[in-house]
Amino acid sequence: MITDVSVPSLLQRSPYLDISLSAQTGKGTIFNIISGKSYEVSPVIISILDFFKKPATIDGLLVDMDLGADQVDQALTYLQKNGLLLDLSEEGWERFTTDVIAVKNRIFGVDAYHDRAEVVIVGIPFGKGNGKSMGGAEFPFHIREFSQNNNLLLKGADFLLFDRLTATRLQPLFRGGKLVDYGNLFISANESTAFIYAKMHQVASQLFDAGKIPAFIGGDHSISYPLIKAAAEQYPNLHVIHFDAHTDTYGSRYDHVNHWGKVHHYGNFMTKCLELDNVQEVYQFGIRGFANAGAKARPKQHIRWCHQVSEQLRQGYRFDLPDDVPYYVTFDVDVLDPTVLPGTATPVAGGFSLAEVKQLFDQLLPGRKIVGFDIVEANPAFDPTDLTTQVAMEILLRLMSYLTIS
Ligand SMILES: [Mn+2]
């Protein structure tokens, strides 16, 4: 508050505002590009924002503008509360530059975000990281519509869809508001790709910091890099379980130029993850196809070929992964065979059946400390029958069933 000037706050106008002043009405309009919200304000407010174009303290403002301290106090409180003016000396000011837009058709009819939530579903409607199709951006909207159209409220009886063990594990999650739907990351067409990735990272960091388990719904696979980076900052011994037909460590001629402002893409996000010190080991399941003919594992990368895993599952082999370490799970739906899941931009023949994925989950996931997960590359543009959405929905529920909640 401005009354306490012993340590003057350093304030700056949010860089994500579109401000206009109407000569006719004399009123100003502030449009927050990040949140999509707009505010009608008096010209005084606009002058205050103008003053804070560059970082400044309020002392300067009081001298400069000849305003009453009460008036200024009110104005600054209003501007800061709405994320229009940032206090650069306050820890966590960055969170006001990002936003998640709530949705009305929340998945499974769960609550909107609140502090008691333990598992938080967040849509990341971003598809520009996939060079073949941007359709993955539609999936967070699509899966919620699917949930609503099928009246999937999952308050009780619907659990009979699943085997008893899965149903038993899911029930506590749907009680007492432990699972919430946060909405979608707000993405504006004006934003650079690098900036959008930075926002994903910020939103993920806030959730990890608050001790929540985020369940991200993509989006193409490039989104997983900022999400895993945020997880690894919170959990320095992070292990990643990666389901995919692809290793996503591919080079591209675009990597050497700043192609469309991209910092990485769907085909090399794992290269970037392996470079993170806090990512300890990465276990890849389902790798196959001609794109991987010459695949060699890098340090920390453990490739489990699809045909090899299928055979091992038949023989009842136990996969040996470390216990008592935090895991992040990234699930590219193309790990499934295209006959099971056709709706993805880069299908690869010879993938897992749904039964194999269930078996693999049951082998790998019980008792693990899963700190977050994502499901990516489901693409409604290639999914006229909704088969992909059905399967992705089942994967989402099954992954959630292994989470540890209080
Ligand atoms: Mn893939």
Residue 161: its pLDDT value, please? 76
87 and 105 co-located in one domain: no
135 and 60 co-located in one domain: no
Residue 164: its pLDDT value, please? 82
239 and 379 co-located in one domain: yes
183 and 199 co-located in one domain: yes
3 domain-assigned: no
212 and 297 co-located in one domain: yes
Ligand 1 centroid, distance to 246 Cα (angstroms): 5
Give the domain CATH number at 53: 3.90.930.70
150 and 89 co-located in one domain: no
Ligand 1 centroid, distance to 284 Cα (angstroms): 11
Distance, in Å, from the CA atom of 193 to the CA atom of 202, rounded to the nearest integer, reads 14
Ligand 1 centroid, distance to 3 Cα (angstroms): 56
29 and 162 co-located in one domain: no
144 domain-assigned: yes
230 domain-assigned: yes
Residue 129: its pLDDT value, please? 86
Residue 116: its pLDDT value, please? 93
311 and 280 co-located in one domain: yes
- Read off the pTM: 0.81
Q: Which of 165, 205, 171, 167 is closest to 185 using CA atoms?
A: 205
Residues 6+ apart with CB under 8 A from 243: 284, 285, 286, 329, 330, 331, 332, 335, 357, 360
115 and 152 co-located in one domain: yes
Residue 3: its pLDDT value, please? 47
Distance, in Å, from the CA atom of 100 to the CA atom of 199, rounded to the nearest integer, reads 10
Give the domain extent around 209. Answer: 98-401
Final residue belonging to a domain, choices 63, 93, 123: 93
Ligand 1 centroid, distance to 392 Cα (angstroms): 14
164 and 246 co-located in one domain: yes
Burial of 252 (0-12, 13-18, 19+ CB in 10 A): exposed
252 and 386 co-located in one domain: yes
Give the domain CATH number at 108: 3.40.800.10
Residue 399: its pLDDT value, please? 97
Which DSSP string do the residues of 222-257 spell out, in sequence order?
A: GGHHHHHHHHHHHSTTEEEEEE-SS-S----GGGGT
Ligand 1 centroid, distance to 341 Cα (angstroms): 12
Q: Return per-residue pLDDT of the chain as tens, 406 residues.
A: 444 444 568 899 988 888 988 888 888 999 887 677 889 999 889 989 999 998 898 888 877 777 778 888 889 989 988 889 988 887 766 666 667 888 889 999 999 999 999 999 999 999 988 888 999 999 999 999 999 998 887 766 567 778 888 888 888 898 888 999 999 999 887 777 877 888 899 899 999 999 999 999 999 999 999 999 999 999 999 999 999 999 998 876 555 544 444 567 788 889 989 999 999 999 999 999 998 888 889 999 999 999 999 999 999 998 989 999 999 999 999 999 999 999 999 999 999 999 999 999 999 999 999 999 999 999 999 999 999 999 999 999 999 999 999 8
Q: What is the domain count for the chain?
A: 2
107 and 146 co-located in one domain: yes
Ligand 1 centroid, distance to 336 Cα (angstroms): 10
